[in-house]
Amino acid sequence: MSLTHTELAAVDLAVLASYEDAQIEGEPDFVVELIDLYLDEVPRLFDSLHTAIQNNDSTTAKRAAHSLRGSSGNLGVLQIAAIADEFEHLENQCGTSATQLLQSLENEFRRVKEILGAERQKRSR
Amino acid sequence: MKILIAEDDPVSCRILTASLKKWGHDVVVTHNGNDAWRALHDQGAPPLAILDRMMPDVDGIEICRQLRREKTDTPVHVILLTSLNRREDLLEGLEAGADDYLTKPLDTHELRARLQSAARILELQESLRQRVHELEAAIAERKLAEEALRNLSLTDQLTGLYNYRGFLNLAEHHAKTSRRTQTRSLLIYADMDGLKEINDTLGHRAGSTAISAVADILRRTFRDCDILARLGGDEFAVLVPNIKQAASATLLERLEGNLRSYNKEADQEFTVALSIGAVEIDHEEVWHIEDQMARADEVMYREKRKKKGRLKVASKT
């Protein structure tokens, strides 16, 4: 199984932009709000994944990966969604491959943080 | 429309909430299955629920299953949120009773279309529910009207004789006129013997046949101008206006004779018998039918206790 997903964009900004439809006039920027929610949620899920792997608790690990895939998919964060999906469907969510996938997730998140941060800046202006 | 959301993922939850609010819906937000279940059972609970398939405590499929176990005429319309690549989740959800589904990542255009279809279904469901209520009310009203009509009726449905009400009306009228016309009357109170045994051993259909047989025998025995009635159950009454002195005994013998010949001839599994109380009413007195019926009833009771088959005429008063 390949651990790289280079064929996918890190963030599909068109997906993010589609949520402008839900913007209510006079309220804070909705896309910015979603970015903040996401940037807040992902580190929590990573913590949960680390703890679960340490405790050999694959149920919790699987659930956290599922949430990560859901949130990421919804915001067009495609790479993370794909890796999280791969993680969720591992035979063992607490083995070596799991640890490796978690590592790639964290690496990818650094990249995503930058892209989303820039997008946030642009929209807050 | 009031819509419940049950979604533990904050990003999905926010997207759903914002979109629904933007489209003018009233949103109840929950983040786990237990809260969702409670909200669906509150007063004024939402008619539509969007439930995430995966939640940490009670998942969306389990909520569906529990909801469908409930008997209600306002079932919640459930849209289940599942992952795009999990076909088995989707099938399991529909089997558990979900009405529709949405896949993640969320597509807000699809969400909007699904909500429109849900609104149409809920509208149909509501108009159907109202129609059922209207029909139920109409049926209840009709039953009341029939009951009222039955109470107004003067004849007994099974035998075609007068019923209790009819008998009282006519007999009371006769009581008033008998003094003026200087006529003597005979009142007969008759109670079937053994109707309960016929019902118990041969069934109610045989019981009804026996009652009808008694009515026919009474019709054969008395004249058209006599007032024949089935008072109810196994009780009958006859008022013979304008009877000549000493004619009572002959009339009762004729009744007894007709009963005997019925029992001999009829091709029935049962025989009919009557306990009879008869009283003559003198035209000199002012009388009321209810008092005279009480007298006749008493004579009948004594007769029933003795029950040697002889018919009795009580002397007046």
ipTM above 0.90, yes or no: no
pLDDT of residue B309: 46
Give, as one character, the DSSP assignment of residue A22: G
Q: Are B80 and B102 in contact (CB under 8 A)?
A: yes
DSSP A48-117: HHHHHHHTT-HHHHHHHHHHHHHHHHHHT-HHHHHHHHHHHT-S-TTSHHHHHHHHHHHHHHHHHHHHHH
Interface residue of A33, A37, A45, A116 to substitute, partner B, most B CBs within 10 Å: A37
Q: Torsion-angle region of residue B222: left (phi > 0), alpha (psi -120 to 50) or beta?
A: beta
CB pairs under 8 A between A and B: 60
Taking an 8 Å cut-off on Cβ atoms, the answer to whether B22 and A63 are in contact is: no
Mean predicted confidence (pLDDT) in B137-160: 85
pLDDT > 70? residue B312: no
The residue with greater pLDDT, B181 or B174, is: B174
Interface residue of A24, A57, A71 to substitute, partner B, most B CBs within 10 Å: A71
Question: A95 CA to chain B: closest CA distance, Å?
Answer: 23
Q: Which residues of A touch B (CB under 8 A)?
A: 15, 18-19, 21-24, 30, 33-34, 37-38, 40-41, 63, 66-67, 69-71, 73-76, 81, 85
In angstroms, the CA B74 to CA B76 distance is 6
Taking an 8 Å cut-off on Cβ atoms, the answer to whether A70 and B10 are in contact is: no
**H or E stretch including A26?**
none
pLDDT > 80? residue B315: no
**H or E stretch including A25?**
none
Q: In the structure, what pLDDT confidence band is assigned to residue A42 with cuts at 50, 70 and 90?
A: very high
pLDDT of residue A38: 96
- Find all residues with CB under 8 Å of A56, minimum gap 6, and list them: A94
Question: A110 CA to chain B: closest CA distance, Å?
Answer: 19
pLDDT > 70? residue B266: no
Question: B122 CA to chain A: closest CA distance, Å?
Answer: 25
Q: pLDDT tens for residues B196-211? A: 999 999 999 999 999 9
CA B82 to chain centre: 48
In angstroms, the CA B228 to CA B237 distance is 6
Q: In a 10 Å sphere around its CB, with 0-12 CB exposed, 13-18 middle and 19+ buried, how is residue B26 labelled?
A: exposed
pLDDT > 60? residue B49: yes
The residue with greater pLDDT, B41 or B180, is: B41
pLDDT of residue B286: 77
Q: Highest-confidence range of A43-47, B108-112, B151-155, B220-224, by mean pLDDT? A: A43-47
The residue with greater pLDDT, B62 or B305, is: B62
pLDDT of residue B268: 75
Mean predicted confidence (pLDDT) in B98-120: 91
pLDDT of residue B143: 87
pLDDT of residue B175: 84
Q: pLDDT tens for residues B12-23? A: 999 999 999 999
Q: In the structure, what pLDDT confidence band is assigned to residue B158 with cuts at 50, 70 and 90?
A: very high
pLDDT of residue A22: 85
Q: pLDDT tens for residues B184-197? A: 899 999 999 989 99
The residue with greater pLDDT, B278 or B175, is: B278
Q: In the structure, what pLDDT confidence band is assigned to residue B57 with cuts at 50, 70 and 90?
A: confident
Phi, psi of B185, deg, nearest 5 = -125, 160
Facing residues of B84 across strands? none
Q: In the structure, what pLDDT confidence band is assigned to residue B144 with cuts at 50, 70 and 90?
A: confident
Taking an 8 Å cut-off on Cβ atoms, the answer to whether B9 and A73 are in contact is: no
Task: For residue B292, count other CB atoms closer than 10 A to its CB.
Answer: 20
Least confident of A47-56, B67-76, B77-86, B182-191: B77-86
The pLDDT mean for chain A works out to: 90
pLDDT of residue B311: 45
Q: Are B189 and B276 in contact (CB under 8 A)?
A: yes
Task: For residue A7, count other CB atoms closer than 10 A to its CB.
Answer: 9
pLDDT > 80? residue A60: yes
pLDDT of residue A7: 64
CA atoms within 13 A on the CB side of A66: 20
In angstroms, the CA B314 to CA B293 distance is 13
Q: In the structure, what pLDDT confidence band is assigned to residue B314 with cuts at 50, 70 and 90?
A: very low
- Rounding to the nearest 10 degrees, give the CA dihedral for residues A13, A16, A18, A23: -140
Q: In the structure, what pLDDT confidence band is assigned to residue B287 with cuts at 50, 70 and 90?
A: confident
The amino acid occupying position A116 is L
Q: Are B221 and B255 in contact (CB under 8 A)?
A: yes
Q: pLDDT tens for residues B77-86? A: 999 988 766 7
Cα angle at B307 between B301 and B311, to 5 degrees? 80
Tokens of A3: 């651990």
CA atoms within 13 A on the CB side of B191: 17
pLDDT of residue A4: 52
Interface residue of A12, A15, A19, A38 to substitute, partner B, most B CBs within 10 Å: A19
Cα angle at B123 between B8 and B126, to 5 degrees? 100
β-strand pairing of B235-240 with B185-192: antiparallel
Question: A99 CA to chain B: closest CA distance, Å?
Answer: 23
pLDDT of residue B173: 84
Question: B97 CA to chain A: closest CA distance, Å?
Answer: 23
